[in-house]
Structure 1
Amino acid sequence: MNRKQLIKEIQKKRSFLCVGLDTDLSKIPGHLLREKDPVFEFNRQIIDATADYAVAYKPNIAFYEALGPKGWESLNKTLEYIPKDIFTIADAKRGDIGNTSSLYAKAFFESMDFDSITVAPYMGVDSVKPFLEFEGKWVILLALTSNEGSKDFQLFGAANGKPLFQEVLEKSSQWGSPENMMYVVGATRGEKIGEVRKIVPDHFFLVPGVGAQGGSLEEVAKYGMNRECGLLVNSSRGIIYAGSDHNFAQAARNEAGKLQQEMEALLDMYL
Structure 2
Amino acid sequence: MTRSELFEQIRRKRSYLCVGLDTDINKIPRYLLDTSDPVFAFNQQIIDATHDLCVAYKPNLAFYESLGVNGWNSLEKTVNYIRYNYPDLFIIADAKRGDIGNTSGMYAKAFFDAMDFDAVTVAPYMGEDSVTPFLTYVGKWVILLALTSNKGAFDFQLMTENGEKLYEKVLKTSQYWGTSDNLMYVVGATKAEMIADIRQLVPDHFLLVPGVGAQGGSLREVTEKGMNDQCGLLVNSSRQIIYASDGEDFAAKAREAAKEVQIEMEALLDAHRLL
Pairwise same-fold verdict (TM > 0.5): yes
Q: Which residue of 1 aligns with 2:99?
A: 96
Matched, 1:33 2:33: yes
Secondary structure in 2 matching 1:175: coil
Q: Which residue of 2 aligns with 1:258?
A: 260
Matched, 1:107 2:115: no
Q: Which residue of 2 aligns with 1:124?
A: 127
Structure 2: distance between partners of 1:136 and 1:230:
17
Secondary structure in 1 matching 2:230: coil
Q: Which residue of 2 aligns with 1:136?
A: 139
Matched, 1:70 2:73: no
Structure 1: distance between partners of 2:131 and 2:267:
36
Secondary structure in 2 matching 1:18: strand
Structure 2: distance between partners of 1:81 and 1:192:
37
Q: Which residue of 1 aligns with 2:90?
A: 87
What letter matches 2:232 in structure 1? G
Structure 1: distance between partners of 2:14 and 2:101:
40
Secondary structure in 1 matching 2:142: strand
Give the number of equivalent residue pairs. Answer: 270
Q: Which residue of 1 aligns with 2:183?
A: 181
CA offset at residue 191 of structure 1? 1.8
Structure 1: distance between partners of 2:92 and 2:2:
13
- The question of whether the paired residues in 1 share the 8 Å contact of 2:91 and 2:118 is answered with yes
CA offset at residue 4 of structure 1? 1.4
TM-score (norm 1): 0.99
Secondary structure in 1 matching 2:200: helix
Q: Which residue of 1 aligns with 2:11?
A: 11
Secondary structure in 2 matching 1:128: helix
**CA-to-aligned-CA distance 1:87-106 (integer Å, 9 cap, x gap):** 00000000101110000000
Q: Which residue of 1 aligns with 2:272?
A: 270
CA offset at residue 77 of structure 1? 0.4
What letter matches 1:138 in structure 2? W
What letter matches 1:202 in structure 2? D
Question: 1:229 pairs with 225, 228, 231, which one?
Answer: 231
What letter matches 2:54 in structure 1? A
Structure 2: distance between partners of 1:126 and 1:97:
7
CA offset at residue 79 of structure 1? 0.2
Structure 1: distance between partners of 2:89 and 2:116:
13
Question: 2:245 pairs with 243, 248, 256, which one?
Answer: 243
Secondary structure in 1 matching 2:139: coil
Any runs of at least 4 consecutive aligned residues in structure 1 with deviations exceeding 2 A, and if so which?
none
Alignment of 1:161-172 (within 5 A): 161-172=163-174
What letter matches 2:228 in structure 1? N
Secondary structure in 2 matching 1:32: helix
CA offset at residue 212 of structure 1? 0.4
**CA-to-aligned-CA distance 1:219-261 (integer Å, 9 cap, x gap):** 0001000001000000000000001100000000000000000
- The question of whether the paired residues in 1 share the 8 Å contact of 2:101 and 2:131 is answered with no
CA offset at residue 5 of structure 1? 1.0
- The question of whether the paired residues in 1 share the 8 Å contact of 2:206 and 2:233 is answered with yes
CA RMSD in angstroms, aligned pairs only: 0.5
Alignment of 1:141-160 (within 5 A): 141-158=144-161, 160=162
**CA-to-aligned-CA distance 1:173-224 (integer Å, 9 cap, x gap):** 1110000000000001122011110000000000000000000000000100
TM-score (norm 2): 0.97
Matched, 1:49 2:52: no
Q: Which residue of 2 aligns with 1:200?
A: 202
Q: Which residue of 2 aligns with 1:216?
A: 218
Structure 2: distance between partners of 1:114 and 1:4:
18
Secondary structure in 1 matching 2:79: helix
Gapped regions of structure 2 (runs ≥ 5): none
- The question of whether the paired residues in 1 share the 8 Å contact of 2:19 and 2:57 is answered with yes
Structure 2: distance between partners of 1:206 and 1:87:
12
Percent of aligned pairs with the same residue? 65
